[in-house]
Amino acid sequence: MASSFPTTAAPRRRLGGLLVYLRTMGLFVAAWFIVALNVPNKLLLPSPVDVALALRDSAMDGELFDNAAVSVVRLFVSVVAAAVVAVPLGLAMGRSRLCNDLFEVPVELLRPIAGIAWIPLALFIFGIGHRLPLFIMFYTAFFPLLIGTAAGARTVDERLVAAARTMGVPEHTIMRRVIVPAALPSILVSARLAVAASWTAVVAAELVGAPSGLGYAIEYYRSMLSTPSVMAFIAIIGLCGFLTDRALRRLGAVLTPWAQTEQAR
Amino acid sequence: MKRLMLRLLVPALTLVVWEIAASGSARAPRPSTVMQTAVRMIANGDLLFGLATSLGRVFAGFALASAVAVPLGIAMGSIGALEKNLDPLVETFRPIAAIAILPLVILWLGTGSMSAVTIVAYAAFFPVLINTIAGVKRVEPNLLRAAYSMGVPPMTRMRVVLLPAALPAILVGMRIGLGLAWTAIIAAELAVGAKAGSSGGIGQMMFVFYAYSVELNGIVVCMVAVGIVALILDRVLRELLARAVPWSRA
């Protein structure tokens, strides 16, 4: 988390890091180029130039942006919806033994069933369209958020809660001013896990059963045997995943500046 | 006793409501029909065969990933220059979900076991690598210095000092990687089953139930089986972790 606290050496270090990045990736692309020259079948391994051209073409006609926007909006909607349910439930489970007893067993029974395993059944229930990927992503994002929130609420320093109670702070204010801020770092870490997991799930869900989105696009171009476009869209999937993770890290640094020590990757 | 009943209240209630709500339709799966299907699928061996096929691929891919990721991670964790120069590659490819490269892998390797194993290896590779690097970097440097100053040769140093100290992190990475690998195999088999060919495995079984025989009970049985296997894999690795490295409370 070197970027959280800029020091005088930070800009130079960042520039150095960028140079190393460009050098390594330059070597990688050069190696790819040479290997591609020696693969006679362009369908199997197109050269980086072909991929860059395919990327430019789909960016120019707006198809790239449209599909990426569809997938990212789906990600956003389903993760927010999952958080709206999971965070309050997690807080309740972390703070009340009754809630924990009621919901722990169903959660532990459902959690091991991967969201992706719901795809066939969800295809029956929802059909092909928006609702299938939304459901799969909601489900995938739900459990990390719930577990993380409950763990965060459970490990709040009890002396803080006791101090607030002693001073006559009402219970709902304790929840809002003591427990939520204390659990927030843990909630944000689990949000990053949730986003990463549902980004994987959206690609799978769109690959099998959605008429739009990045997953659909790579599957479409595979059936068209247009390998450069497949690779271009794979790169975009990686880029979107990387950018959403960066955005969440930044959000964590802004919301919980006190908890920016070494975070689990 | 009262507490146990409380804990089982929600699942029991859900099953009862599900049974009643679904009893109107002949095709909708119900707990009772799912049980019958499960008994049939276990008795004729279909379920176990599908699970064994998928598990075989998971272990093959996972072993492949670990065989590369653990040595590479140890090297990257102990040699700063290597980590600095390879980190861009890791950070570039890590956000790309294993499922996203599936179309490419199908193109290269077809729809058989090789594709599935490759996807699994890709999915498991990054968690193992990253945790290995982190584990090696977190080894107490004084331990290494002490061994160095006492003239312990490099290979022995690695075996006796570095590996035991990094092992808890490596095993945590393996546990995460194996969980992701199991998810990835389901997705890969589903997607491969959705496209063409016969590849077998639990994921494809689900797709066949979905697309050809329209057997919703079978799908639910497969889902539960997937969950149980995921749980067992996780428990086994946790147990392994506790046995292999009793000094760690990971």
Q: Among B105, B210, B234, B236, which would you mutate to test the A interface (most chain A Cβ atoms within 10 Å of its Cβ)?
A: B210
pTM: 0.84
Tell whether B11 lies on the interface with A, counting CB pairs under 8 A.
Answer: yes
What is the average pLDDT across A203-227?
84
Q: Which domains does chain A have, with CATH numbers?
A: 46-259 (1.10.3720.10)
Contact A101, A170 (CB under 8 A): no
* Cβ contacts from A onto B, under 8 A: 147
Cα–Cα distance between B131 and B69 in angstroms, integer?
10
pLDDT at A1 over 50: no
Helix axes A10-37, A48-60, angle to 10 degrees: 110
Q: Do B107 and A112 touch (CB under 8 A)?
A: no
Contact B100, A218 (CB under 8 A): yes
Q: Do A23 and B85 touch (CB under 8 A)?
A: yes
Residues of chain A with Cβ-Cβ distance to B130 below 8 Å are 265
Tell me which chain A residue has its CA closest to the CA of residue B219: A121
| Tokens, residue A1 | 């988390």
| Tokens, residue A83 | 């958080």
pLDDT at A50 over 80: yes
Residues 6+ apart with CB under 8 A from B230: A112, A113, A114, B179, B182, B183
Tell whether B236 lies on the interface with A, counting CB pairs under 8 A.
Answer: no
State the DSSP string of B179-200.
Answer: HHHHHHHHHHHHHHHHHSS---
Q: Do B187 and A116 touch (CB under 8 A)?
A: yes
**How many Cα atoms are found within 13 Å in the side-chain-facing hemisphere of A89?**
17
Nearest to B194 among A104, A118, A208 (CB): A208
State the DSSP string of A94-138.
Answer: HH-HHHHHHHHHHHHHHTTS-GGGGHHHHHHHH-SSSHHHHHHHH
Residues of chain A with Cβ-Cβ distance to B183 below 8 Å are 114, 116, 200
Nearest to A102 among B9, B92, B93 (CB): B9
| Tokens, residue B171 | 């095993």
- The ipTM assigned to this model is 0.82
Contact A87, A149 (CB under 8 A): yes
Phi-psi region of B96 (alpha: psi -120 to 50; beta: other; left: phi over 0): beta
Model pLDDT, residue A10: 62
Among A residues 209-238, those touching chain B with beta carbons less than 8 Å apart: 214-215, 218-219, 221-222, 227, 230-231, 234-235, 237-238
- Looking at the complex, report in whole angstroms how far the Cα of residue A234 sits from the nearest Cα belonging to chain B: 6
The owner of tokens 């594709």 is B115
Residues of chain B with Cβ-Cβ distance to A113 below 8 Å are 223-224, 226-227, 230
Q: Do A120 and B219 touch (CB under 8 A)?
A: yes
Q: Among B2, B3, B4, B10, which would you mutate to test the A interface (most chain A Cβ atoms within 10 Å of its Cβ)?
A: B10
Tell me, rounded to whole angstroms, the distance of Cα B140 from its chain centroid.
Answer: 30
Cα–Cα distance between A46 and A40 in angstroms, integer?
10
Over residues A128-151, the pLDDT tens digits come to: 878 888 999 999 999 999 999 999
Mean pLDDT of chain A: 86
Residues of chain A with Cβ-Cβ distance to B104 below 8 Å are 222, 227, 230-231, 234
Q: Among B17, B82, B91, B96, which would you mutate to test the A interface (most chain A Cβ atoms within 10 Å of its Cβ)?
A: B96
| Average pLDDT, 10 consecutive residues per value, chain B (250 residues) | 83 88 79 87 87 91 95 91 89 86 85 85 94 90 87 85 88 91 88 62 84 83 91 89 73
Q: Do A101 and B3 touch (CB under 8 A)?
A: yes
- Looking at the complex, report in whole angstroms how far the Cα of residue B70 sits from the nearest Cα belonging to chain A: 17
How many Å is the maximal CA-CA distance in chain B? Answer: 78
Phi-psi region of B49 (alpha: psi -120 to 50; beta: other; left: phi over 0): alpha
| Coil vs helix vs strand at A86 | helix
| Tokens, residue A19 | 């140079």
Residues of chain B with Cβ-Cβ distance to A25 below 8 Å are 88-89, 92
Cα–Cα distance between B166 and B237 in angstroms, integer?
16
Model pLDDT, residue B64: 95
Tell me which chain B residue has its CA closest to the CA of residue A242: B95
Model pLDDT, residue B30: 86
Residues of chain B with Cβ-Cβ distance to A112 below 8 Å are 226-228, 230-231, 234
Residues of chain A with Cβ-Cβ distance to B233 below 8 Å are none
Tell whether B109 lies on the interface with A, counting CB pairs under 8 A.
Answer: no
Model pLDDT, residue B96: 87
**How many Cα atoms are found within 13 Å in the side-chain-facing hemisphere of B96?**
20
DSSP-H helix ranges across B79-109: 80-93, 102-109
How many Å is the maximal CA-CA distance in chain A? Answer: 78
Residues of chain B with Cβ-Cβ distance to A199 below 8 Å are 97
Tell whether B182 lies on the interface with A, counting CB pairs under 8 A.
Answer: yes
The owner of tokens 């063409």 is B196
DSSP-H helix ranges across chain A: 10-37, 48-60, 63-95, 97-110, 119-126, 131-154, 158-166, 171-174, 180-209, 214-223, 227-255
Cα–Cα distance between A22 and B88 in angstroms, integer?
8
Q: What separation in angstroms does the CA of A6 have from each of A12, B38, B245?
A: 11, 59, 38
Model pLDDT, residue B193: 63
**How many Cα atoms are found within 13 Å in the side-chain-facing hemisphere of A77?**
13
* Residue in A161, A213, A1, A203 with CA at minimum distance from that of residue B103: A203
Cα–Cα distance between B160 and B169 in angstroms, integer?
16
Tell me, rounded to whole angstroms, the distance of Cα A248 from its chain centroid.
Answer: 9
State the DSSP string of B62-79.
Answer: HHHHHHHHHHHHHHHHH-
Cα–Cα distance between B1 and B3 in angstroms, integer?
5
Nearest to B191 among A106, A208, A237 (CB): A208
Cα–Cα distance between B12 and A265 in angstroms, integer?
38
Cα–Cα distance between A188 and A180 in angstroms, integer?
11
Q: What count of other Cβ atoms lies within 10 Å of the Cβ of residue A22?
A: 11
Fill in the amino acid letter for B150: M
Per CATH, which fold does B37-244 belong to?
MetI-like fold (1.10.3720)
Over residues B185-217, the pLDDT tens digits come to: 888 888 776 554 556 788 888 888 887 777 888
Tell me, rounded to whole angstroms, the distance of Cα B229 from its chain centroid.
Answer: 10
Residues of chain B with Cβ-Cβ distance to A203 below 8 Å are 97, 99-100
pLDDT at A6 over 50: no
Model pLDDT, residue B91: 85
| Tokens, residue A234 | 């794979």
